Amino acid sequence: MDKSKKIKYAGTALKIIIVLFSFGYIYNKVFHEMQKDEFQHLSPLQKIEDSSGLFTVAILLVFLNWALEALKWKFLVSKVEKVSFGKSYKAVLSGVTVSIFTPLKMGEYMGRILHLSPENRIKGTVLTIYGSMAQLFVTILFGNAALIYFLPKMYDVSSGLYQWWYYLYIALIIILNLFFLMALLNPSFLVSAVNKTPLPRKVKKYFRVLSLFNPAELFKEVLLISALRYVVFSLQFYLCLEIFNIELPLFDGLAIVAITFLFLSFLSLSALMELGFTRSLICLQLVHAFYAYKGSENVVVDADVWQASTVLWLINLAVPALFGALFLYGVKIFKSEA
């Protein structure tokens, strides 16, 4: 067997392994959780059927969510390679497929850059990381704003030392967010910061691609799209809570969702950790705190929050990951792959 065929078979085998790992992790996590005794009595399909209108909207927002991400990635990689919106959408979903089972969601970068020409993949990785940083910044920004709004509902911060700590927290958050915003919109600053790291010189040179952008286009094409996408998947979570009878005023509900995503952004080591209890535990405590503040007699069943979180994970990550696996079929993993 000649070398080119060996490389081709190796590439095919690697893609099959990636798909099997992705499918296996999804199957294991979903069905393993469903088999637990405390969830045997649940009937999520009935609640979804009862709220079919809300569920339909949540499903439609899945396409918008990843379309916005595809637009953002298409713009970012346009500095090194022109890709169509369709190809960008496929790349984004392929990234979801690989990130499902990889730590720190690092597979997201690998899944996407496989759709680029081999010579552009390292620069594509740098640009993908930048896009993720922008999305993380938006998550932290909205999450901290929600936390500032929600803290007085959980603790008495109207007097004494707590009031000073509260105002200090607000001031610190404003300063830090302004600093990170200026850093994100100043590519030369990011390149300079990377140059001061102990990374090898041959690695540092790839970060110079960030210098091809100007602050105005980064704000418009990256940060604003990231903010729109954040609104979309936050609304999805709120709708899922409504479907499973977690009734919250819109503003307060979105604040709870924002804080949940804030903590989740620091806790998640992989997309799998967003399933079930990691997200549910955070959200559940916030919902209970809100009802306690309102003096409401509403009883929130833990399993309802778990179901809402799981449905969101399924429609936003698991199902797109299955489609992303199909889009991996036509890509070439190795440069010399025929």
* Site of tokens 């709220």: 51
At 302, list the tokens: 């833990």
| Residues spanned by the domain of 322 | 3-327
In angstroms, rounded to a whole number, what is the distance separating the alpha carbons of residues 59 and 12?
A: 32
* The pLDDT of residue 261: 87
* The pLDDT of residue 220: 92
In angstroms, rounded to a whole number, what is the distance separating the alpha carbons of residues 99 and 112?
A: 10
Distance of CA 246 to the CA centre of its chain: 23
Q: Give the angle subtended at the CA of 88 by the CAs of 76 and 273, to the nearest 5°.
A: 90
* The pLDDT of residue 299: 54
Residue 338 resides in a domain: no
Q: Give the angle subtended at the CA of 68 by the CAs of 65 and 72, to the nearest 5°.
A: 140
* The pLDDT of residue 268: 58
Q: Which of 176, 168, 139, 136 is nearest to 151 (CA)?
A: 168
Residue 242 resides in a domain: yes
Task: Count how many residues are written for the chain.
Answer: 338
Residue 333 resides in a domain: no
Residue 266 resides in a domain: yes
Is residue 18 within 8 A of residue 328, CB to CB? The reply is: yes
Give 292: exposed, middle or buried? Use CB within 10 Å, 0-12, 13-18, 19+.
exposed
> Helices marked H in the chain — which ranges?
3-34, 44-50, 52-77, 85-99, 107-113, 121-154, 160-184, 187-195, 201-204, 215-218, 224-243, 250-267, 277-294, 302-313, 319-327
* The pLDDT of residue 334: 60
* The pLDDT of residue 270: 45
In angstroms, rounded to a whole number, what is the distance separating the alpha carbons of residues 159 and 59?
A: 45
In angstroms, rounded to a whole number, what is the distance separating the alpha carbons of residues 78 and 2?
A: 36
> What is the DSSP code string of 66-82?
HHHHHHHHHHHHTTT--
Residue 119 resides in a domain: yes
In angstroms, rounded to a whole number, what is the distance separating the alpha carbons of residues 110 and 99?
A: 9
pTM: 0.87
CA distances from 138 to 47, 147, 216, 222, 266 (A): 32, 14, 17, 10, 14
What's the total number of domains in the chain?
A: 1
Helices 250-267 and 224-243 sit at what angle, rounded to 10 degrees? 110
Per run of 10 residues, the mean pLDDT along the chain (length 338 residues) is 59 70 69 57 74 92 96 96 95 88 75 90 92 94 91 75 85 94 89 86 89 92 96 93 85 87 70 50 66 58 76 86 82 61
